[in-house]
Amino acid sequence: MDQRTQEKEWARETADRIAAKVAVTAHRNRGKVPYTTAEGRFDDWSGERIGWWTNGFWPAQLWLLYHAYGNEEFRTVAEEVQDKLDAVLLDPMAMDHDAGFRFLISDVADYRITGNRQSRNRGILAASNMAGRFNLKAGLIRAWNDPGDGKTAGLAIIDCMMNLPLLYWASDELHDSRFRQIAMAHADSVQKVFVRENGSVHHIVEFDPETGRIIGPQGGQGMQVGSAWTRGQSWALYGFTLSYLHTKEERYLETAKQVADYVVSQISETGIVPVDFDQPADILWEDSTAAAIFACGLLELEKLTDGEQKETYYHTAVLLLHTLAEKRCSWDPEIDNLVEKCSAAYHDREHDFSIIYGDYYFTEGILKLAERDILLW
């Protein structure tokens, strides 16, 4: 048995373990929209916090597992969360650049798998709102909202690369090229102003919303301006790979490889990923979410390459998934989360906790390696 076959078998066994655990946690957490855990139990970001950008990842994980295993409770719990997310579509202050994280991998996934027309409608509404955030002069999609003072009108962030597939989907679904044009214009601008020569990327870039003039980068969730916040690198790696898959434009593939080569050069043989690749050696904060996203992006990217580069991407992804499964996961069914030692931002007070999108991307990566996945992006 060759190594790839062995890894596929390991991934299938690991996927079975994920499905078995999530079957328990999904049943126990009916009605919740989780972000993290407290004393081993998911919290609930319903109500006032329903607009948080991560709230699509729990139903997304359930759709991945429903597609692979057919457990009807996965579908039911996902649909219950999606019904709650309707409130976001009615709140202009909640709708922002992260529409894909909320609606592509939840409602559009539902539509793709089940044909649910209500979910299709939610996806189109979300895509239309996201397209309306495009700044024509800068060629960038505005990130956050503000209460009306315009202070965030000129901010764009690397995370948005992962939300572009919502626009690609809407363009195909509606036979309307406007959505694709906006997505590609944003990706082209990100190539120019976010990606550094060494393949690392900025988190935030500020522009003048009136003229489109690029003012410069901001530090964002990384250590400082110019450092390499790891989750930002993962958004770029996977995001440009997805833009290539949707458009077949070689420039996006080349940028994905540029970022991937930088990332691979920074990942140690332990497979442990820090919050920022540039953080001091005595700062041991980790971000397992970045590790999981890297693995997903690299597994998609290796399909598009050949030779030594292909093998490097594959083996790095496998290393990351093994490290997560064997060293950074809780398999205890009494503990709701899977992935441990996640961080939201370098300068946050708290580090090394669970975050729901860590579980989602770990599940996606394992199902990719097991060849039992469906690409929700």
Catalytic residues: 98, 159
Which residue's structure tokens are 């996006």?
Answer: 252
Contact 67, 374 (CB under 8 A): yes
Give the whole-angstrom CA distance, residue 320 versus residue 375.
20
**What 3-state DSSP class applies to 104?**
helix
Q: Is the dihedral of CA 50, 52, 58, 61 positive or negative?
A: positive
DSSP 214-251: EEEEE-TTSSSTTS-BHHHHHHHHHHHHHHHHHH--HH
Give the whole-angstrom CA distance, residue 274 versus residue 343.
9
Which residue's structure tokens are 């990706």?
Answer: 187
Strand partners, 134: 141
Half-sphere exposure of 325 (CA within 13 A, CB side): 24
Half-sphere exposure of 273 (CA within 13 A, CB side): 33
